[in-house]
Each structure stands twice: as C-alpha cells, then as structure tokens.
Amino acid sequence: MAWVCNVCGYVEDEESPPSTCPVCGAPESDFAERFEDDEDSLLNSNDDDDMDDFEKDLFADYDE
C-alpha cells in the first residue's frame, strides 16, 4: 500500500501513512491512499528506500 501527500506529492510506501510528511510536514490527514495499479508503476520507476534517504538529507540541509 502507498500513501500520497496531497500537499507536495511525496509517496510513502507503507501500510499506513506517516504522522507527518517528511518533506513538507503536512499532517497524516493530508495523505491519500494510492491504488495498487498506480503503486506498481511507481515501484517500477524508482527504488523507494534510496529516494527516501535522499529526500531526508535534502530536508535536513534546509533545516540547518
């Protein structure tokens, strides 16, 4: 299952949405469930774990 942030488009590939978006800080209520067909095409286009770490590093840089 995947969840999409309605604010910035970030995708969380987990059973449940994050409490806050790691990219823009939007609350869990701003995440929408993504359908499996979309998830499949998404997984084919990138490796989620590497992208997550890259985005977190980017966000940490902005914070400092």
Which residues here bind Zn ion, judged by CB under 5 A? 5, 7-8, 10, 21, 23-24, 26
Give SS3 for 24.
Answer: coil
CB of 24 to Zn ion, least distance (A): 3
Which residue type does 62 have?
Y
Q: How far is the CB of 21 from Zn ion (least distance, A)?
A: 3
For residue 36, give the DSSP letter: H
Neighbours of 17 (CB within 10 A): 21
Instruction: Please say which residue, 8 or 42, places its beta carbon nearer to Zn ion.
Output: 8
Minimum distance, C-beta of residue 23 to Zn ion, in the bound complex (Å): 5
